[in-house]
């Protein structure tokens, strides 16, 4: 708890006018200073600061208060954190910090880190020998000349105890060096923490050095990490700080946008190219505290600019959990050809990068597309498996107001029941961020690498490894015929279980199960009366099939010449789907005694087309929900859905008249 004494110490140590002048242009009028209010748009100054009373007021919006309330509004902080913010600026150690401290003061750590940055920079700019030369070659090869190195305080850590000796000469103790993570004890001796690495200093929002990232020179080996970052200390917390936030915050506030990259060199390259609102997370996953930090600059849009590799795509998926925790729109750009931002800028230039950023997509749209692209959605059982995977992705949003929106969208895309989708999401465990981060170079990284879309063979579940796959189709993914209940001749009433596959179909929507049953009835009719159904070929060809293998069988049977016997038609279907004989033996409608042959065929084709129309409308609805703004493509989809719905209404009336006779 912050004492009243500390609160007053902080108030007295803060130059209120200087604080406000960081973001507001003030002009003195007598004892007061006036400017345009930073909290609402205005052209005529109505905001004043009185240094004598320590108060501020805006006559435009009516708000006002003291220095603490001003910081609360400007930095989006609660009251205690506003005091801590100002205490940190003034170098005041609060009683709560002294009471919990078990080591050197934070101010001493910051001083030591600042001295370390100056030393590392000197070694880079003026050092002699292979190490400094290699560091300069590395940075030069990335387009970072001496001016860039000076602007960013880049350096070189020689190791061999040279920093320890330098800091001792400046009066710092071994305990202070270790508390700042600049040194470590080995065999009873103090040695440098960073050794033969290019150094990237990390600053807090006021520009003070609080940590470092060090990159090895030369090729990475299994025993040596490519990057070594300062551990969490009293001065630094990797989950709460962002690289280059001190340089980016003004640009964030001015543009209302923030760009988040994954690496130090990417951020520097972006700033040097003019994208000065760019930051990066520091050796950890993008976290909620990072979002909150950017919100303090009142950003309305955060663009996650991830590398184009598998790790970048996983980073986008991890950021999904913050969609409902910020008012800022979370957008995503994944660069092509597995390039990182620095590589992309070098290859394509500033204008191409700006075009990429302008084309940023809502984060969830990207994640939906990429995650589902790794699944074969050609069969109902496989779509159920995709639901299980997507439920894990959306689990962090299980208590969110966004759940209904995303569950409905996923249900429409996969043809599953909305309530079952919500249940799957609510029951899926929420993984911690560290659980989701793959080990470097490990098998887990390979297992989670996004795969290209496959229209035929889905990734095998653990229990399916070694299962036979014939002609590109996985038989055990096929919904067996006995998964559909015999509810009377001429009806299509499937039940939701598939014991042979090990996949529960209860998650499928009633429409989806109905369509699978209707497609099978159509296939059975094709096998029994191929020539009678050939006149319906154009309608059959236009269907949007629930199961891709049904479509393959239909095409195979319709491709046979007129006059082909039913047995030969069945053989043609079996050539593409080995389970065809078992599937094609279960037709029911053709056995209906109350209808003529022509009525039976009409009924079968009409029902299959009705289900197909409804399916396509659901898919379009899901696509339109994902559209950020209306465009020519969304207009075309809307027109298509309108025509499909009109056709579905016609078929419904026609089928209803048949059922009522």
Could you give the domains of the chain? 4-99 (3.90.580.10), 101-229 (3.90.980.10), 245-367 (3.40.1360.10), 510-585+593-660 (no CATH)
pLDDT (0 to 100) of residue 498: 41
Q: What is the pLDDT averaged over residues 640-659?
A: 88
Helix locations, 324-442, DSSP H: 341-348, 350-358, 363-373, 380-394, 403-414, 418-427, 433-436
**What average pLDDT score do residues 77-81 get?**
83
pLDDT in tens, 483-531: 333 333 344 444 334 433 444 566 777 888 888 888 988 999 999 999 9
Rounded to an integer, what distance in angstroms lies between the CA atom of residue 525 and that of residue 531?
10
DSSP SS3 for 410: helix
Is residue 329 left, alpha or beta, with left meaning phi > 0 and alpha meaning psi from -120 to 50? beta
Residues 271 and 247 sit within 8 Å (Cβ to Cβ) = yes
Strand partners, 198: 156, 215
In the numeric block, the tokens 């569950």 are attached to 407
Mean pLDDT of 567-572: 94
pLDDT of amino acid 627: 64
Q: Which helix (H) or strand (E) holds 60?
A: none
Separation in Å, CA 536 to CA 372, 539, 608, 634:
33, 5, 12, 31
What is residue 280's DSSP assignment?
Answer: E
CA separation for the pair 592, 43 (Å, rounded): 80
Q: How far apart are CA 278 and CA 228, in angstroms?
A: 22
Instruction: Report CA 653 to chain centroid distance, whole Å.
Output: 45
Mean pLDDT of the chain: 81
Residue 115 has pLDDT above 90, yes or no: yes
8 Å CB contact between 560 and 632: no
pLDDT at 434 over 80: no
Q: How confident is the model at residue 557 (pLDDT cuts 50, 70, 90)?
A: very high
- Residue 264 pLDDT > 50: yes
CB 235 within 8 A of CB 211: yes
Query: Under 8 Å CB-to-CB from 661, ≥6 apart: which residues?
Result: none
The answer to whether 333 and 304 are in contact (CB under 8 A) is yes
Q: For residue 20, how far is the Cα from the chain centroid?
A: 36
pLDDT band at residue 329 under the 50/70/90 scheme? confident
């Amino acid at each position: 708890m912050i004492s009243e004494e500390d609160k007053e110490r902080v108030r007295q140590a803060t130059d209120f006018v200087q604080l406000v002048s960081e973001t507001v242009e003030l002009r003195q009028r007598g004892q007061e200073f006036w400017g345009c209010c930073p909290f609402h748009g205005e052209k005529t100054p109505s905001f004043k600061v009185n240094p004598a009373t320590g108060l501020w007021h805006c006559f435009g919006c009516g708000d006002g208060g003291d220095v603490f309330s001003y910081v609360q509004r400007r930095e989006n902080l609660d009251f205690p954190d506003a005091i801590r913010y100002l205490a940190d600026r003034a170098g005041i150690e609060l009683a709560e910090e002294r009471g919990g401290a078990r080591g050197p003061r934070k101010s001493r750590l910051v001083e030591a880190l600042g001295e370390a940055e100056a030393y590392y920079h000197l070694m880079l700019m003026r050092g002699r020998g292979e190490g400094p030369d290699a560091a300069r070659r590395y940075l030069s090869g990335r387009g970072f000349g001496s001016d860039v190195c000076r602007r960013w305080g880049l350096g070189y850590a020689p190791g061999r105890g040279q920093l320890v000796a330098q800091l001792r000469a400046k009066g710092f103790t071994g305990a202070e060096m270790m508390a700042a993570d600049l040194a470590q004890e080995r065999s009873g001796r103090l040695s440098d923490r960073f050794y033969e690495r290019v150094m990237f200093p990390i600053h807090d929002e006021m520009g003070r050095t609080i940590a470092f990232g060090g990159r090895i020179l030369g090729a990475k080996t299994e025993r040596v990490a490519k990057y070594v970052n300062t551990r969490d200390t009293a001065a630094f917390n990797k989950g709460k700080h962002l690289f280059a936030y001190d340089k980016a915050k003004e640009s964030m506030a001015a543009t209302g946008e923030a760009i988040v990259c994954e690496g130090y060199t990417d951020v520097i390259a972006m700033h040097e190219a003019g994208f000065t609102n760019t930051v990066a997370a520091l050796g950890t996953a993008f976290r909620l505290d990072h979002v909150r930090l950017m919100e303090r600059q009142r950003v309305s849009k955060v663009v996650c600019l991830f590398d184009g590799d598998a790790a970048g795509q996983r980073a986008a998926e991890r950021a999904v959990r913050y969609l409902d925790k910020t008012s800022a729109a979370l957008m995503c750009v994944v660069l092509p050809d597995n390039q990182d931002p620095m590589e992309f800028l070098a290859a394509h230039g500033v204008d191409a990068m700006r075009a990429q950023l302008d084309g940023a997509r809502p984060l969830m749209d990207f994640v939906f597309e990429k995650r589902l692209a790794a699944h074969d959605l050609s069969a109902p059982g496989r779509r159920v498996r995709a639901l299980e995977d997507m439920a894990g992705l959306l689990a962090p949003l299980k208590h969110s107001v966004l759940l209904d929106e995303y569950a409905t969208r996923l249900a429409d895309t996969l043809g599953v029941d909305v309530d079952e989708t919500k249940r799957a999401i609510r029951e899926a465990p929420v993984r911690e961020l560290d659980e989701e981060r793959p080990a470097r170079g490990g098998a887990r990284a390979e297992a989670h690498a996004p795969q290209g879309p496959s229209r035929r063979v889905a990734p095998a579940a653990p229990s399916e490894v070694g299962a036979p796959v014939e002609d590109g189709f996985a038989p055990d993914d096929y919904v067996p015929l006995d998964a559909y209940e015999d509810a009377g001749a001429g009806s299509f009433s499937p039940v939701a279980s598939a014991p042979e596959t090990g996949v529960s179909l209860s998650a499928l929507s009633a429409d989806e199960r109905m369509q699978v049953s209707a497609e099978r009835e159509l296939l059975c009719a094709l096998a029994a009366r191929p020539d009678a159904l050939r006149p319906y070929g154009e309608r059959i060809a236009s269907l949007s099939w629930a199961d891709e293998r049904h479509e393959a069988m239909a095409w195979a049977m319709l491709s046979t010449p007129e006059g082909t016997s039913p047995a030969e038609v069945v053989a043609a279907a079996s050539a593409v789907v080995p389970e065809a004989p078992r599937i094609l033996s279960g037709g029911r409608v053709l056995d209906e005694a109350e209808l003529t042959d022509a009525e039976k065929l009409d009924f079968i084709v009409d029902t299959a087309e009705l289900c197909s129309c409804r399916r396509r409308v659901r898919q379009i609805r899901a696509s339109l929900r994902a559209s950020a703004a209306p465009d020519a493509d969304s207009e075309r989809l809307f027109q298509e859905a309108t025509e499909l719905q009109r056709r579905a209404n016609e078929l419904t009336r026609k089928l209803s008249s048949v059922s009522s006779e």
